[in-house]
Structure 1
């Protein structure tokens, strides 16, 4: 979905390119942290009693659930639950 007008998109890019590389990098890190927190909150809203390890597993499944075979997923999940 793209609901941004070409003029606004141009303005957004101008603002981004005015930032130093360090500022752009920092903003990227903040965005990643925000999205991760949003995902965790969504999972916890549906399953409020998850342990920290179980939450890690659910985040993994949300992000990478279709990227690994069932066998690979089970190995990764076993590791997440023990570390």
Structure 2
């Protein structure tokens, strides 16, 4: 495995907009959902490299996404965000 570069994970408590930096995450899902999330992350990385996309939402690729039943995952392109600040 390659050496891991620095990254951060942020989240918010249910029904709040208060963003907090997290030390760890737990994903509670079945195997099919985990594969969908993995595919989303891989495809998002490809889009970011090819097009300098700033961010991508998981909810935008899931047809039946519901805020009552699902959690959005937002991937943010560190290279784009840090160069624009």
More strand by share: 2
Larger radius of gyration: 1
More helix by share: 1
